[in-house]
């Protein structure tokens, strides 16, 4: 593969695909199958991942410390995710329809626990009283086995607006919080380009 980024010919570099696997991001993000490459490209964001036939197969998203076996590399979003949403993106700038439930949490897996690292000001989690340092146990009485499982449980409740019952551990006390989820796009503040 080749990774091609902006900056001319010196920003084109060879890479090897070392894994295609699920990726769960701390910011309420999940890809069922992301592409992981090594070595890491220094200018990865938006970079093109090009196969031997010269076809675009992925768009650079992240630098990761564990592309394969603890080796640093890059994570690419497969390009085949684009055709089903391309018309919406061109006409509306976003996918049309109800969004997934968004809670306004940054959550990390640490020592087998889901630890809240940040609560977005004004988001559903903040309004419900969740705090940095709380540990998410599960959703509605069902334990979460990891970050990806947690997202799947939340998203299975329906579209944005669904009430999410979070089971949380705070200072060795189990608590339940009801969060009225929202569409993340409604929380973001966009600057006009006009």
Task: Give, for all 194 residues of the chain, the pLDDT tens digit.
Answer: 999 999 889 999 999 999 999 999 999 999 999 999 999 999 999 999 999 999 999 999 999 999 988 899 999 999 999 999 999 999 988 888 889 999 999 999 999 999 999 999 999 999 999 999 999 999 999 999 999 999 999 999 999 999 999 999 999 999 999 999 999 877 766 565 65
Give me 108's structure tokens. Answer: 């990390």
Is the CB of residue 155 less than 8 Å from the CB of residue 147? no
The per-residue pLDDT for 190 is 59
b/e per residue, 116-143, with b = 16+ CB within 10 A?
beebbeebbbbebebeeebbbbbbeeee
Query: How far apart (Å, rounded) are the C-alpha atoms in residues 192 and 3?
Result: 32
Query: How far apart (Å, rounded) are the C-alpha atoms in residues 56 and 35?
Result: 13
The per-residue pLDDT for 191 is 60
Give residue for tokens 């540990």. 135
Query: How far apart (Å, rounded) are the C-alpha atoms in residues 113 and 134?
Result: 10
C-beta neighbour count of 34 within 10 angstroms? 22
The per-residue pLDDT for 85 is 93
The per-residue pLDDT for 30 is 96
pTM of the model: 0.87
């Amino acid at each position: 593969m080749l990774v091609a980024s902006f900056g001319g010919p010196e920003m084109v570099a060879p890479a090897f695909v070392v894994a295609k696997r699920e990726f769960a991001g701390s910011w309420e993000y999940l890809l069922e199958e992301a592409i992981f490459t090594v070595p890491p490209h220094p200018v990865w964001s938006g970079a093109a991942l090009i196969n031997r036939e010269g076809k675009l197969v992925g768009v650079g998203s992240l630098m990761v410390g564990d592309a394969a076996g603890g080796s640093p590399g890059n994570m690419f979003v497969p390009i085949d995710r684009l055709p089903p949403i391309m018309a919406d993106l061109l006409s509306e700038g976003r996918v049309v329809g109800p969004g997934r439930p968004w809670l306004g949490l940054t959550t990390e897996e640490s020592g087998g626990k889901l630890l809240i690292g940040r609560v977005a000001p004004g988001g559903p989690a903040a309004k419900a009283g969740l705090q940095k340092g709380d540990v998410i146990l599960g959703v509605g009485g069902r334990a979460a086995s990891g970050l990806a499982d947690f997202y799947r449980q939340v998203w299975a409740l329906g579209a944005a607006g669904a009430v999410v019952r979070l089971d949380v551990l705070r200072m060795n006390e189990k608590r339940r919080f009801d969060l009225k989820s929202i569409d993340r796009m409604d929380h973001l503040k966009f600057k006009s380009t006009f």
